Amino acid sequence: MLDYDKEAERYDASRGGEPRAAAAAEAVLSLVPPRARSLLDVACGTGIVTRRLAAGRDGLRVTGADLAPTMARYAAARLPGAVVLADSRRLPFRDREFDAVTSVWLLHLAGGADDVRAVVGECARVLRPGGVYVTTVDKGASHNVGSDIDAVLASRPPSTAHDTAGQVESYARAHGLVPAGSTRFTGHGQGRSPRRTIADLRRGWFVTLPPGDPRAEHFAAGLADLPDQDRPRPDPVFTLRAFAKPRARGGNPGVPGGD
């Protein structure tokens, strides 16, 4: 697992910057009901997406939450007074407090299925009936774009995905949420080059190949043999799923109310 306090300074630049953030925010807002007036962005990171969520919809009050102090500090500079330090498994908010809750690029980082269930459960708890929870799914698989880099890495030790669409839907249903749509967006600027992938291998980006592991150097050698060492391969395309919290007495589950 990467240290996200250490990653904070280079996080935006290493992950597509503003173009990726703009694509993510636009996609998220396409799944948030127009009448939503409050949104919680769980694991907001540096706030680069969170700020765009706030700016992208008039009248939408956005709160960010992140566990890493340095990440939260960057986010607070972008959204003064609207960011809190919080563990996504134990959110410091009241039941039914928000019209929408989002968790972009979070569930794949969970340590296991129990943690994913806990995060989804907390997001459901703080969501108002009639509101929507929006989250990325299948994050790891999104990076396999069928490139020559993927071919070299195909035999690396697999990691267990805890954010598959089916798993997340089952956890959402267990907490009373029902499917309410999906969309996809491009991770602009995240296409891997061989040289960048070698650097990521050596700093522990691939969790099943820790730095210093002889196997990591085996894959690095294969990557070094590829042509066009600095040419990015295709960008990943990420998937968002939305889940609505139905009203207790009928009504449209996609429209927040005053419960």
State the DSSP string of 136-185. EE-HHHHT--S-HHHHHHTTSPPPPPS--HHHHHHHHHHTT-EEEEEEEE
Is 122's pLDDT higher than 70? Answer: yes
| pLDDT-based confidence at residue 93 (cuts at 50, 70, 90) | very high
Is 17's pLDDT higher than 90? Answer: no
| C-alpha–C-alpha distance, residues 241 and 134, integer Å | 6
Per DSSP, the three-state class of 56 is coil
% of the chain surpassing 70 pLDDT: 90
| C-alpha–C-alpha distance, residues 35 and 38, integer Å | 9
Residue labelled with tokens 């522990």? 204
Which residues does residue 65 pair with via DSSP β-bridges, in sequence order?
42, 84
Give every CB contact of residue 28 below 8 A, 6+ residues apart in sequence. Answer: 49, 53, 102, 104, 134, 240
% of the chain surpassing 90 pLDDT: 77
Is 254's pLDDT higher than 50? Answer: no
| C-alpha–C-alpha distance, residues 120 and 125, integer Å | 9
pLDDT recorded at residue 105: 93
Q: How much is the average pLDDT of 184-210?
A: 90
Residue labelled with tokens 């085996």? 218
| C-alpha–C-alpha distance, residues 22 and 56, integer Å | 10
| pLDDT-based confidence at residue 13 (cuts at 50, 70, 90) | low
Nearest partner of 156 among 102, 109, 210, 193, judged by Cα: 210
CATH number for the domain whose boundaries are 4-143+159-190+235-245: 3.40.50.150
Is 15's pLDDT higher than 50? Answer: yes
Mean pLDDT of the chain: 90
> What ranges in 2-138 are assigned the alpha helix state H?
4-14, 17-31, 48-55, 69-78, 113-125
Q: How much is the average pLDDT of 125-137?
A: 98
* DSSP per-residue codes, 77-106: HHSTT-EEE-BTTB--S-TT-EEEEEESS-
Is 112's pLDDT higher than 80? Answer: yes
Q: Is residue 234 a contact partner of residue 191, using CB atoms and an 8 Å limit? A: yes
| Candidate from 7-11, 24-28, 198-202, 215-219 with smallest mean pLDDT | 7-11
Two structure tokens written together for 181: 């749509």
pLDDT recorded at residue 10: 63
Q: Is residue 89 a contact partner of residue 42, using CB atoms and an 8 Å limit? A: no
Give every CB contact of residue 85 below 8 A, 6+ residues apart in sequence. Answer: 65, 66, 67, 69, 72
